[in-house]
């Protein structure tokens, strides 16, 4: 198991806290809690060791296509693929927007 922390500048204001997904094989749960600081703090616990580089790439790519929300994103990952991870992250941000 590995713990990874990443921080990105953020501008988007989402209203609600939200949770998406479940810690099952090939999946993850993502929890978003909004705050006022202009940054997105990301804390990942993952069952896959040595995956920091991949998570960084995933969020770099995400940041290049979306404005990131201000808050903390915590992820408990059970060996999800980057595709599944991205889908869950999009889902939790959407729920935080409309919940």
Partner 1 sequence: MPNRDMSFIELSARERARRILDQGSFRELLDPFEKITSPWLEPQGIVPEFDDGMVVAKGKFNGKPTVIIAIEGVFQGGSMGEVSGAKMAAALELAAEDNRSGIATQALLLFETGGVRLQEANLGLAAIADIHSAIVDLRRYVPVIGITAGTVGCFGGMSIAAGLCSYLVVTREARLGLNGPQVIEQEAGIEEYNSRDRPFIWSMTGGEVRYKNGFADIIVKDSVNDVKTAIIQCMNKGLPDTLRSDDYDYYLQKLNAIDTSKQADATLVKNIFGRGDRK
Partner 2 sequence: MLANLKSNRAWDSRLNEKKRRCNAVNKLANGKVLATDSFVEALEKLIVAGDRVVLEGNNQKQADFLARKLSQVDPNIIHNLHMLMPSIGLPEHLDIFEKGIAKKLDFSFSGTQSLRISQLLADHILEIGAIHTYIELYARLFVDLIPNVALVAAYKADRNGNLYTGPSTEDTPSIVEATAFKNGIVIAQVNELVDDEADLPRVDIPASWVDFVVVADKPFFIEPLFTRDPRLIKPIHVLMGMMAIKGIYAKHQVKSLNHGIGFNTAAIELLLPTYGEQLGLKGKICQHWALNPHPTLIPAIECGWVETVHCFGGELGMEKYMAARPDIFFTGHDGSMRSNRTLCQLAGQYGVDMFVGSTLQVDGLGNSSTVTHGRLSGFGGAPNMGHDPHGRRHATSAWLDMMQSQNPVDRGHKLVVQMVETFQAGAKPTFVEQLDAVEVGKESDMPIAPVMIYGDDITHVLTEEGIAYLYQAKSLEERRAMVAAVAGITDIGLGVDSKRVAQFRKEGKVAFPQDLGIQPTQAQRSLLAANSIADLVEWSDGLYDPPARFKSW
Interacting residues toward partner 2 by CB under 8 A: 26, 48, 51, 54, 57-58, 61, 64, 79, 81-84, 86-87, 90-91, 94
Query: Does position 23 bind partner 1 by CB under 8 A?
Result: yes
The structure tokens listed for 48 are 């896959």
**C-beta of 33 vs 63, nearer to partner 1:** 33
Residues 42-61 that bind partner 1 (CB under 8 A): 45-47
Q: Which stretch binds partner 1 (CB under 8 A): 6-14, 25-33, 52-60, 87-95?
A: 25-33
- Closest separation in Å from C-beta 37 to partner 2: 26
Residue indicated by tokens 């408990």 = 76
DSSP secondary structure code for residue 12 in this structure: B
Rounded distance between C-alpha atoms, residue 23 and residue 60, angstroms: 24
Burial 51-79 (b: 16+ CB within 10 A, else e): bbeebeebbeebeeeeebbbbbbbbbbbe
Residue 78 binds partner 1 (CB under 8 A): yes
């Amino acid at each position: 198991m590995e713990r990874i922390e990443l921080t990105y500048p953020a501008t988007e204001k989402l209203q609600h806290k939200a949770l998406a997904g479940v810690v099952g094989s090939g999946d993850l749960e993502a929890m978003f809690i909004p705050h006022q600081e202009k940054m997105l703090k990301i804390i990942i616990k993952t069952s896959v060791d040595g995956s920091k580089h991949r998570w960084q790439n995933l969020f770099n790519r995400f940041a290049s296509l979306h404005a990131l929300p201000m808050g903390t994103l915590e992820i408990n990952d059970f060996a999800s693929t980057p595709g599944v991870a991205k889908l869950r992250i999009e889902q939790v941000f959407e729920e935080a927007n409309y919940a």
